[in-house]
Amino acid sequence: MTAITETARQFFDACETGKGWGGCQAFCTQDATFTAQAEPLADVRTLEAYTEWMKGLLGFMPDGRYEVKSFATDEGRQNVCAYGVFSGTHSGQGGPMPATGKRTSTDYVYVMEFADGKVRHMTKIWNAPWAIKELGWT
């Protein structure tokens, strides 16, 4: 396993289990950026903000969990792609509305770009409208 693959795995787990920036920053450059073409994340531009968003999401979806479907490293381009399925129920307080009790299982991909062995940028590829509809937020 390459160094960036291991760093990506550690970052991925810390992010997806709601550790926030405190649990993720050791795996990232200080100024790591973030992009996603998904409405709930339209204003999120830093990886720090995204990891805090995930931490908040798990606050109102306390049963949230992920399953890795694929993890691939492109050494030449210095990036790692992770395909996962996030599942959870909106049962806690917070979020865009009162708890709906509805559940989603939503596919997503992270493309993590590396510099000097740390994540410098991450793109999230996610069909947000699908998850929003399943959770009853529309």
Residue 112 parent element (H or E): strand 103-115
**According to the model, what pLDDT value does residue 94 have?**
85
Tens of pLDDT, residues 6-60 = 999 999 999 999 999 999 999 999 999 999 999 999 999 999 999 999 999 999 9
Mean pLDDT of the chain: 97
Distances in Å between the Cα of 131 and the Cα atoms of 3, 66, 70, 76 are 33, 14, 20, 34
DSSP 3-state assignment of 110? strand
**According to the model, what pLDDT value does residue 56 have?**
97
Q: Which CATH architecture best describes the domain 3-134?
A: Roll (3.10)
What are the residue ranges spanned by the domains of the chain?
3-134
Distances in Å between the Cα of 2 and the Cα atoms of 6, 7, 8, 78, 113 are 6, 9, 10, 11, 14
Q: What do you get for the CA distance between the two ends of the chain, in Å? A: 42
